[in-house]
Amino acid sequence: MEEASPTDKWIQKVANDFWQTQDPDKNLRIPLGKVKESLLQSPEADRLPNGLVIQLLQKADENADGLLDYEEFMTFSSSASKHPRGRDTFSRAALTVLPRNERSLEKRTYLQQYSCCPPPVFMILTTLVEVGVFIYYMIDMNKTMEANRPAPIYSPLIYNPKRRYEAWRYMTYALIHSGYMHLINNIVVQLLLGLALELVHGWWRVGLIYLSGVLFGSLANSIAAPRTYLAGASGGVYSVEYAHIGNLLLNWSQMEFKWLQLTIVLIFSISDLSFALWDTYGRPDGTQSATGHMAHLGGAVAGITVGIYILRNLETKKWEKYLWWVAFVLFLVLVLAGVILNATLQDYFPEDDWENINQARVDYFQG
């Protein structure tokens, strides 16, 4: 016997709950709101095609009286199998980062009708700018670009420990990458993890998370490694990645595939931590690592703390309000501490280089 589909199972469950257990003669009409609540929030409905959910929500009540009879409901049993499923993979991917109690008709409809116009602007534009800057410096240096080098250390965008007074470098270093693998790794991860968040939480929320990771990543790395250059978008990438932790933490009971999401992030975190320890202390040649692992850690901390109060649940519980304030204050204190330490520990950092930035480019190519 062929196993019933998720759609058939949900329809049968609703029919059992509302008619067979309460009204075997099927004369009772139920409020449409109860069906909508089940569709939007019940775990059993998670595997239904998103388009079918929208169809049920919009058209279930044929006579528009706010009540649903058995015949109206069962009409969709036959139409469900005919429902187009071409967009289901896309919609399911986006819905996995959205708590059930936020899966409104409006958001489901937006995802179903989404045609990449307008696109998730922040992640797309950020990626395009990073690729554009990479191509520019690849041409400017007139060198064969290798997997993990070279980096244009003369660039006014890269974080230069001798030019910390040029404060924009604490942010713009994210546009510079050292080699094509450095760039590819960052843009692949930020697109995979950032697009889904941006589709359901908005560009400005994801933008704040990303930029917070970039800023705190550079502050943390500058203190941990005061004499090293810093390039790459890893701080922002890690921030977006670990924002998923904040999202899971606040919406655990409402999240779909929560254990899978948590497992993926934990595996990635443990792998990265293991590599960071080896790269810092266990390299067989005894050389010092050039990777800004503290920028990764700073981005992760920013992602969790900022994610908690940016990607917060619409139905905020009392303990979540306390957690919101703790995360908000903690991030502000950490950033403020980083700024103060960078501004006051002058002897800790290399002596400032006041050479004209154009001369720095000339020196690079002559040297």
How far, in Å, CA of 309 to CA of 328, rounded? 7
User: Quick count: other Cβ atoms within 10 Å of Cβ 316?
Assistant: 12
Catalytic residue among 177, 201, 244, 296: 296
Contact, 292 vs 234, CB < 8 A? Answer: yes
How far, in Å, CA of 353 to CA of 333, rounded? 29
Contact, 71 vs 35, CB < 8 A? Answer: no
> Tokens 């589909």 sit at which residue?
5
CA dihedral 139, 144, 148, 150 (to 10 degrees): -60
Pick the closest to residue 16 from 71, 93, 70, 54 (CA basis): 70
Active site residue 83: no
Contact, 91 vs 111, CB < 8 A? Answer: yes
Omega into 49 within 30° of 0, i.e. cis? no
Pick the closest to residue 213 from 290, 296, 270, 327 (CA basis): 296
How far, in Å, CA of 201 to CA of 245, rounded? 15
Contact, 178 vs 150, CB < 8 A? Answer: yes
Of the chain, the end-to-end C-alpha distance in Å amounts to 76
Active site residue 296: yes
How far, in Å, CA of 231 to CA of 207, rounded? 19
Which residues on neighbouring strands pair with residue 67, listed in sequence order? 31
Strands (E), 64-127: 67-68
Catalytic residue among 218, 222, 234, 239: 234
Spell out the residues 6+ positions from residue 204 whose beta carbon is closer than 8 angstroms to its own.
122
Pick the closest to residue 103 from 153, 165, 40, 51 (CA basis): 40
Distances in whole angstroms, Cα of residue 325 to Cα of each of 130, 186, 290, 305: 33, 31, 36, 10
**Which amino acids are annotated catalytic?**
234, 296
